[in-house]
Copies of this chain bind each other. A is one copy, B any other.
Amino acid sequence: MELDRLDRDIIGALIEDARATYAEIGQRVGLSASAVKRRVDRLRETGAITGFTARVQPAALGWTTEAYVELFCAGKTSPAEIGVAIARHPEVVSACTITGEADALLHIRATDVRHVERVIERLAAEPFVVRTKSSVVLSRLIDAPPALARNESASSA
């Protein structure tokens, strides 16, 4: 589906503040409130916008430690198999298969370093996992609210 300038601007506004009123968004992009609502409804129907979520300071909820874990898997392990298995570990907040030596890269959040250790042990115990290699996060530099609205500036750079 095709997104025009207005759609991108509306998405940008909603990424910045998902609870902004249609009138506020409309003022910003140059549209009436009802026109904005119609577009937002359409963007949700087509799947461009998948939902709205609160941005939370993980530390405030007790998740003070994060780590990245590389998974080295047995010969013919499928991505689907990995996905199903790691979905059972609630500490895994993000995961993907990647090119390079490792097969998958996992991002985990835990309450402390000991907790990280337990999670890695649990992951390593998965039958298809041959080896893991992990890095604990020292300090977070960037955690962007997906700034996907600056498509032009990015591709013209």
* Across-interface contacts of A83 in B (CB, < 8 A): 141-142
Whether a CB of chain B sits under 8 angstroms from the CB of A35 is no
Chain A, range 38-81, C-beta contacts under 8 Å to B: 46-58, 60-63, 66, 68, 79
Does A137 contact B47, Cβ atoms closer than 8 Å?
A: no
Does A148 contact B50, Cβ atoms closer than 8 Å?
A: no
Contact flag A144-B56 (CB < 8 Å), given A17-B51, A155-B115: no
Q: Chain A contact residues: over half helix, strand or loop, or mixed?
A: mixed
Smallest CB separation, A126 vs chain B (Å):
13
- Chain A interface size, as a band, is 35 or more
* Across-interface contacts of A99 in B (CB, < 8 A): 135-136, 138
Whether a CB of chain B sits under 8 angstroms from the CB of A15 is yes
* Across-interface contacts of A17 in B (CB, < 8 A): 51-53
For the complex, what is the distance from the CA of A52 to the CA of B16, rounded to whole Å?
7
Chain A, range 121-157, C-beta contacts under 8 Å to B: 122, 133-151, 153-155, 157
Q: Which residue of the partner chain, among B3, B118, B137, B142, contacts A93 with CB atoms under 8 Å?
A: B142
Contact flag A53-B145 (CB < 8 Å), given A61-B48, A137-B98: yes
For the complex, what is the distance from the CA of A104 to the CA of B68, rounded to whole Å?
11
